[in-house]
């Protein structure tokens, strides 16, 4: 039994008085519509996988099931010895940035939310404003910076712009708003210092947000293209998207390989999603805590 | 015995000294190009040959993915990260010369007269101020691809030799379904692909005009010749109905799927067409005008020596440039990469000029022109918009052409303003 | 320690706040603000990446004001916002709300909605382009034809192109918003619902009086963030219109695409920087406006 069974849904409570048949009828319709909606959402991905299983001459015949399915594309991509290096690079970078974001974005979000001090709103807007400059324009100054400090072609060079994000900060700030101040006060009275309060009291209460943040930061860094492309020189340092782009050149885009690459790339993000989404499900069952 | 022994010691000492001396003189130069399997293989072979012939020079090759290669190089060189020899697209030459990123090739080794004579004429676009700045190892040109099976099915003997035949044959190859939707095009069209080159350097000339004046600084197709060329091109869809813009998303997709009878494209398409099993295709030279005028468009990537190369590295770079523009190098490139040689001495050999696939492309080089673009993607967009104004917004062609010419002139004016 | 004791609680409070913020603020200043300042200065210069920078005064801005493509692009960007944000907000809330109440195969269904967000945008754009093709190739038109409805020219039309390009962007972003909404829904203490049950309140009232108000921080976040996202839209448009970027005839071109084109095709960095400053200003104003309108009263 998952936590969802324990959590009372409004439907279950309020329609208890209605006849059982009617209740489950509505439930079935809802489930069916959601399921069909899900299928519709996934259709393009089905086509992507289908294309990745096709020989080049079948790529444009647009059938969902290829006449001659093949895993040749997958073996081609995976047997390329460099692929595993790219994969490792991507994993390391995505993991480090995710952890960094979870720590720093929540710290900043918490501070901007729960501490009242002069300049608080300005800092929030200032951080938010960093979302308003497209990455494309930041790439050149970052490159010059990396070149000056010798960060080119290194893990640090690829990672540093993404260690903290306004997106994460904003998200965490909004979720910390839902944490009642009373808890924090109680902890202060108990003698905990601010850092302890943040870590032991506030953080556990926003787990769903942290899980969501982890998923998005991982995903964002996993799929990042422009900056890793510019800052890396040697093929050993490429991340997966950069490496996959080398399968095409100015004239020839091998779509079946791109689809294969896309399919393979989705797997780690899928794993991260499956692992972390449980925390979003469990949510916070706070029965009896709030007065 | 002692004399022999002494001689031996002396001899080995001398040879050891010379060995040490020559390794101490070993120069390393750096070469950058964009990554593509075949090109990297070919260059590795060339480097191997070069290093064998020049034991005191080593060449270190670095390559980057094609995506944003230009930005990558542009960001790296001013930051001091440059190579000694760099590969660039011919269209970037002006920018690189203005920014003093590359130096001219020395006139003693690369005498302009000799280069003029030895290379195909369109390479002269790399000459400025009396000397050559960069040279290609390989070039590309356009040709007419055609689907042999569709030709057979429609009972057509061979590819068209003239523009009129092109229209006629395309008509026979176009098919529709019951509801009138086009299911097979006689010829693909799409200004986003190579057609904008076909329009500029081929059609305009074939209808009696010259696309640009003043060394490509002034637009010259807003006149009768340009109008005739544009009318021919847009007429393919509007008048004859032998093509449809955006059919199968892009022209090469339609051809690869076997749903197009003919397709104009560059030699770089050969590799990917070879991968399509079951597609029987042939190549022919671009159709001539009714009066026999032929023209073609050629583009190329060139190698140049950067301003960073000095002293020994400069000398080594010159030797390297010499080798990669030699006949031997070009033949290797043709065999490994499938790109055409830049010199007639290699291109027009019996084997190459009559090659089933490469032949039509190579023969086209003899009369090809190279457009000097200020901003190729913007200038291409201008022609794409022109076709769409006629196709989607039903604007009269003369207006659309005028707008296009003006827009392109603006681009050129701004570029040459300083 | 005397010094410590002489600080009031309030001052200690502020000290803690600043010590938490010290490192992050430094980070943002170096990584984001400095390059942003750089870009603002660049908007008053001319630079093509290779040569030196030269001062150009307000030249770039005057050119922008007179550029009719810019005004079309400006309008496009706002259309993306005005169509995209409301639609995706409502649809994703609807999905999250109902998904929250489904138990059977809940995780699987949620994964189906999130999968598009995780998949390569380039790959998805290619597939969607094929969906939009005319009969006999494109799915959508084939469906229309079965019902006897005349075909629609999705991408090759100046009126339909923008919504057609927006659809995959909304589609991909749904998963993101659904997840955030679900996290928000799950953060609402169940005690509220229990109290409502005891009071015998109807489902609709619960929705409007309890759920949505308590979701306010989440709604604010999604509104502001997705607005910024739609005003900044680039990847999806670029991938959907690769053969004719921003086309046809600039019908789908958003501001960031114009910036990209100016910077990396035209190498006119100063002009691109000016466009960036405009985008930045617009984003700032819109976000501040939204935060103001949605604030707690």
Contacts of B70 in chain C (CB under 8 A): 264
The CATH number given to whatever domain includes residue C145 is 1.10.3720.10
pLDDT of residue B298: 93
Q: How far apart are CA B263 and CA A163, in angstroms?
A: 49
Q: Do A60 and B253 touch (CB under 8 A)?
A: yes
- Which 75-94 residues of chain A touch chain C by CB within 8 A? none
- Same domain? For A166 and A244 the reply is yes
- Which 118-147 residues of chain A touch chain C by CB within 8 A? 118, 120, 123, 125-134, 136-138, 140-142
Q: Cα torsion at A168, A170, A171, A174 (round to 10°)?
A: 150
If you compute the radius of gyration of chain B from its CA atoms, what whole number of angstroms results?
Answer: 25
> Considering CB atoms only, which of B77, B183, B250 is closest to C243?
B250
CATH architecture of B27-140+299-369: 3-Layer(aba) Sandwich (3.40)
Q: Do residues C294 and C220 touch, judged by C-beta distance below 8 A?
A: yes
DSSP E strands, B314-410: 340-341, 368-369
Which residues, including other chains, have CB under 8 Å from residue A145's CB and lie 6 or more apart? A151
C114/chain B closest Cα distance in angstroms: 28
pLDDT of residue C6: 64
Which residue carries 């519709």 as its tokens? Answer: A40
Instruction: Single out the residue of B52, B33, B29 nearest to residue B41, CA to CA.
Output: B33
- Same domain? For A126 and A41 the reply is no
Which residue carries 């019951």 as its tokens? Answer: B178
| ipTM value | 0.80
pLDDT, tens digit, 9 for 90 and up, residues B201-248: 999 999 999 999 998 999 999 999 999 999 999 999 989 989 988 888
How many structural domains compose chain C? 1
DSSP string, chain A: --HHHHSPPHHHHHGGGS-HHHHHHHHHHHHHHHHHHHHHHHHHHHHHHHHHTS-GGGGGG--SS-SS---HHHHHHHHSTHHHHHHHHHHHHHHHHHHHHHHHHHHHHHHHHH---TTHHHHHHHHHHGGGS-HHHHHHHHHHHHHHHT-TTSHHHHHGGGSS-HHHHHHHHHHHTTS-HHHHHHHHHTT--HHHIIIIIIHHHTHHHHHHHHHHHHHHHHS--HHHHHH--SGGG--HHHHHHTT--SS---HHHHHHHHHHHHHHHHHHHHHHHHHHHH----TTT--
C51/chain B closest Cα distance in angstroms: 5
Could you tell me the two tokens for C241? 């219109």
DSSP string, C217-249: HHHHHHHHHHHHHHHT--HHHHHHTTTSTT-ST
DSSP E strands, B152-259: 175-176, 182-187, 212-213, 218-219
Check the CA dihedral B336-B342-B345-B349 and report its sign: positive
Stronger pLDDT, B158 or A20, i.e. the higher one: B158
Domain of C129 in residue numbering reads as 62-293
Which residue carries 């673009």 as its tokens? Answer: B373
pLDDT of residue A286: 33
pLDDT, tens digit, 9 for 90 and up, residues A62-82: 778 888 888 888 988 888 778
Q: Do C120 and A107 touch (CB under 8 A)?
A: no
User: Which of B67, B268, B277 best tests the A interface by mutation, with the highest count of A CBs <10 A?
Assistant: B67
Stronger pLDDT, B77 or A271, i.e. the higher one: A271
The fold of the B142-298+373-417 domain, in CATH, is D-Maltodextrin-Binding Protein; domain 2 (3.40.190)
pLDDT of residue A281: 61
> Considering CB atoms only, which of B68, B377, B384 is closest to C247?
B384
Contacts of C135 in chain B (CB under 8 A): 177, 179, 181
In a domain? residue C239? yes
- Same domain? For A44 and A120 the reply is no
Q: Cα torsion at C284, C286, C292, C294 (round to 10°)?
A: -130
Check the CA dihedral A114-A115-A116-A119 and report its sign: negative
Q: Which residues of chain A are modeled with pLDDT < 50?
A: 1-22, 283-291
pLDDT of residue B13: 41
The CATH number given to whatever domain includes residue A250 is 1.10.3720.10
- Same domain? For A224 and A244 the reply is yes
Instruction: Single out the residue of A117, B69, B46, A176 nearest to residue C221, CA to CA.
Output: A176
Q: How far apart are CA B92 and CA B306, in angstroms?
A: 14
> In whole numbers, what is the pLDDT of chain B averaged over residues?
87
pLDDT of residue B25: 62
pLDDT band with cut points at 50, 70 and 90 for residue B167: very high
B140/chain A closest Cα distance in angstroms: 11
User: Which of A38, A53, A109 best tests the C interface by mutation, with the highest count of C CBs <10 A?
Assistant: A38
- Same domain? For A38 and A173 the reply is no
In a domain? residue A2? no
Q: Do A41 and C112 touch (CB under 8 A)?
A: yes
pLDDT of residue B18: 42
Q: Do residues B142 and B297 touch, judged by C-beta distance below 8 A?
A: yes
CATH fold match for the domains B27-140+299-369 and B142-298+373-417: yes
Distance set, CA B99 to CA B32, B105, B327, C128, C262 (Å): 18, 16, 31, 42, 19
pLDDT of residue B78: 64
How many structural domains compose chain A? 2
Contacts of C154 in chain B (CB under 8 A): none
pLDDT of residue B15: 41
Could you tell me the two tokens for B350? 């019996």
Q: Do B181 and C135 touch (CB under 8 A)?
A: yes
Which residue carries 């005739």 as its tokens? Answer: B228
B142: three-class secondary structure by DSSP: strand
Please provide the size of chain A in residues.
291
Q: Is 50 exceeded by the pLDDT of residue B83?
A: yes
DSSP string, B64-90: E-STTHHHHHHHHTTTT---SEEEEEG
Could you tell me the two tokens for B22? 């020559």
- Which 27-56 residues of chain A touch chain C by CB within 8 A? 27, 30-31, 33-35, 37-39, 41-42, 44-45, 47-48, 51
Q: Cα torsion at B103, B107, B108, B113 (round to 10°)?
A: 150
In a domain? residue C112? yes
In a domain? residue A24? yes
User: Which of A50, A174, A194 best tests the C interface by mutation, with the highest count of C CBs <10 A?
Assistant: A174
Return the domain boundaries, chain B: 27-140+299-369, 142-298+373-417
Distance set, CA B28 to CA B106, C131, C175 (Å): 20, 53, 53
Q: Do C260 and A115 touch (CB under 8 A)?
A: no
Could you tell me the two tokens for C239? 């991938």
C101: three-class secondary structure by DSSP: coil
pLDDT of residue A137: 80
Q: Please identify, among A41, A70, A99, the residue that sits at the C-terminal boundary of a domain.
A: A70
In a domain? residue A6? no
Q: Do residues B281 and B145 touch, judged by C-beta distance below 8 A?
A: yes
Q: How far apart are CA B82 and CA B62, in angstroms?
A: 11
A81/chain C closest Cα distance in angstroms: 22
Q: How far apart are CA C169 and CA C165, in angstroms?
A: 7
* Chain C adjacent subunits, 3+ CB pairs under 8 A: A, B
pLDDT in tens, chain C (297 residues): 555 556 788 888 888 888 999 999 999 999 999 988 888 999 999 887 777 788 988 999 999 999 999 999 999 999 999 999 999 999 999 999 888 888 888 888 888 998 998 888 888 888 998 899 887 778 888 888 888 888 888 888 889 999 999 999 999 999 889 988 888 888 787 888 888 888 888 878 888 888 888 888 889 889 998 999 899 888 889 888 888 888 788 999 999 999 988 888 888 889 999 999 999 999 989 988 988 888 765
Q: Do residues A215 and A277 touch, judged by C-beta distance below 8 A?
A: yes
pLDDT band with cut points at 50, 70 and 90 for residue B305: very high
Instruction: Single out the residue of C270, C234, C224 nearest to residue C56, CA to CA.
Output: C270
Domain of A251 in residue numbering reads as 80-290
The residues pairing with B127 across neighbouring beta strands, listed in sequence order, are B132
- Percent of chain B predicted with pLDDT > 90: 59
pLDDT of residue B1: 43
């Amino acid at each position: 039994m998952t936590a969802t069974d324990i959590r009372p849904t409004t439907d279950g409570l309020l329609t208890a008085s209605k006849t059982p048949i009617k209740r489950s009828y509505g439930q079935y319709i809802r489930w069916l519509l959601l399921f069909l909606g899900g299928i519709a959402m996934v259709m393009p991905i089905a086509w992507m996988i289908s294309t990745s299983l096709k020989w080049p001459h079948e790529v444009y015949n647009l059938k969902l099931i290829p006449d001659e399915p093949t895993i040749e594309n997958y073996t081609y991509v995976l047997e390329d010895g460099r692929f595993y290096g790219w994969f490792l690079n991507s994993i390391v970078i995505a993991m480090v940035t995710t952890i960094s974001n979870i720590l720093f974005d929540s710290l900043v979000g918490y501070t901007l939310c729960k501490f009242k001090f002069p300049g608080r709103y300005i800092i929030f807007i200032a951080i938010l404003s960093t979302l308003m400059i497209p990455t494309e324009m930041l790439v050149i100054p970052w490159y010059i910076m990396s070149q000056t400090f010798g960060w080119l072609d290194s893990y640090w060079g690829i990672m540093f712009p993404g260690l903290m994000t306004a997106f994460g900060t904003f998200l965490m700030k909004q979720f910390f708003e839902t944490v009642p101040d009373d808890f924090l006060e109680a902890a202060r009275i108990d003698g905990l210092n601010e850092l302890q309060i943040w870590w032991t009291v506030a953080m556990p209460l926003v787990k769903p947000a942290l899980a969501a943040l982890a998923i998005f930061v991982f995903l964002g860094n996993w799929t990042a293209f422009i900056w890793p492309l510019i800052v890396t020189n040697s093929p050993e340092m490429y991340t997966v998207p950069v490496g996959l782009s080398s399968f095409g050149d100015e004239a020839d885009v091998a779509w079946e390989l791109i689809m294969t690459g896309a399919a393979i790339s989705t797997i780690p993000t899928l794993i991260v999603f499956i692992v972390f989404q449980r925390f979003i499900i469990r949510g916070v069952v706070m029965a009896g805590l709030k007065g | 015995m002692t004399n022999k022994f002494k001689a031996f010691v002396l001899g080995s000492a001398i040879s050891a000294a010379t060995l040490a001396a020559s390794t101490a003189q070993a120069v390393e130069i750096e070469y950058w190009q964009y990554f593509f399997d075949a090109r990297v293989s070919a260059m590795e072979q060339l480097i191997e040959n070069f290093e064998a012939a020049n034991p005191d020079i080593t060449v270190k090759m670095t390559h980057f993915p094609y995506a944003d290669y230009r930005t990558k190089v542009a960001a790296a060189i001013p930051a001091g990260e440059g190579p000694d020899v760099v590969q660039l697209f011919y269209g970037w030459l002006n920018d690189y010369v203005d920014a003093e990123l590359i130096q001219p090739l020395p006139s003693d080794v690369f005498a302009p007269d000799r280069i003029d004579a030895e290379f195909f004429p369109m390479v002269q676009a790399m000459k400025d101020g009396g000397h050559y700045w960069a040279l290609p190892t390989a070039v590309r040109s356009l040709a007419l691809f055609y689907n042999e099976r569709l030709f057979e099915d429609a009972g057509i003997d061979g590819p068209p030799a003239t523009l009129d035949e092109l229209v006629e044959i395309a008509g026979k190859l176009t098919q529709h379904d019951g509801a009138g939707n086009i299911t097979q095009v006689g010829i693909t069209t799409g200004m986003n692909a190579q057609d904008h080159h076909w329009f500029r350097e081929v059609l305009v000339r074939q209808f009696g005009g010259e696309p640009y004046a003043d060394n490509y600084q002034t637009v010259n197709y807003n006149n009768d010749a340009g109008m005739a060329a544009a009318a021919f091109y847009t007429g393919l869809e509007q008048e004859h109905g032998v093509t449809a813009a955006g059919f199968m998303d892009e022209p090469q997709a339609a051809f690869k799927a076997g749903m197009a009878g003919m397709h104009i494209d560059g030699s770089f398409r050969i590799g990917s067409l070879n991968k399509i099993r079951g597609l029987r295709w042939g190549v022919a030279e671009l159709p001539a005008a009714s009066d026999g005028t032929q023209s073609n468009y050629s583009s190329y990537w060139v190698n140049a020596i950067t301003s960073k190369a000095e002293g020994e590295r400069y000398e080594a770079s010159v030797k390297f440039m010499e080798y990669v523009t030699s006949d031997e190098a070009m033949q290797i490139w043709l065999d490994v990469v499938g790109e055409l040689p830049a010199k007639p001495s290699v291109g027009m050999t019996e084997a190459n000029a009559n090659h089933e696939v490469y032949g039509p492309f190579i023969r086209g080089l003899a009369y090809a022109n190279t457009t000097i673009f200020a901003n190729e993607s913007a200038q291409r967009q201008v022609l794409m918009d022109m076709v769409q104004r006629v196709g989607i917004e039903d604007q009269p062609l003369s207006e659309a052409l005028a707008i296009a010419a003006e827009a392109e002139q603006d681009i050129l004016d701004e570029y040459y303003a300083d | 320690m005397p010094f410590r004791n002489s600080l009031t609680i309030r001052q200690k409070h502020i000290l803690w706040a600043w010590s938490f913020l010290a490192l992050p603020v430094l980070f943002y200043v170096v990584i984001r603000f400095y390059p942003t300042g750089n870009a603002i200065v660049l908007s008053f210069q001319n630079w093509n990446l290779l040569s030196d920078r030269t001062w150009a005064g307000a030249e770039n801005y005057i050119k922008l004001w007179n550029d009719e493509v810019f005004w079309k692009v400006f309008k496009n960007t706002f259309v993306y916002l005005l169509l995209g944000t409301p639609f995706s907000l409502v649809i994703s809330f609807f999905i999250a709300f109902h998904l929250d109440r489904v138990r059977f195969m809940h995780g699987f269904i949620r994964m189906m909605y999130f999968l598009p967000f995780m998949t390569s945008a380039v790959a998805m754009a290619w597939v969607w382009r094929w969906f939009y093709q005319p009969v006999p190739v494109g799915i959508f038109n084939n469906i229309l034809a079965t019902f006897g409805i005349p075909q629609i020219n999705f991408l090759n039309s100046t009126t339909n192109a923008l919504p057609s390009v927006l659809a995959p962007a909304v589609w991909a972003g749904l998963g993101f918003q659904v997840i955030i909404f679900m996290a928000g829904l799950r953060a609402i203490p169940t005690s509220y619902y229990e109290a409502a049950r005891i009071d015998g309140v109807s489902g609709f009232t619960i929705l409007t009086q309890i759920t949505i108000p308590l979701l306010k921080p989440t709604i604010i976040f999604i509104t502001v963030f997705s607005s910024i996202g739609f005003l900044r839209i680039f990847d999806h448009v670029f991938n959907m219109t690769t053969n004719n970027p921003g086309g046809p005839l600039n019908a789908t071109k958003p501001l960031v695409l114009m910036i990209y084109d100016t910077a990396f095709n035209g190498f006119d960095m100063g002009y691109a920087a000016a466009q960036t400053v405009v985008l930045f200003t617009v984003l700032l104003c819109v976000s501040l406006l939204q935060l103001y309108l949605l604030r707690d009263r």
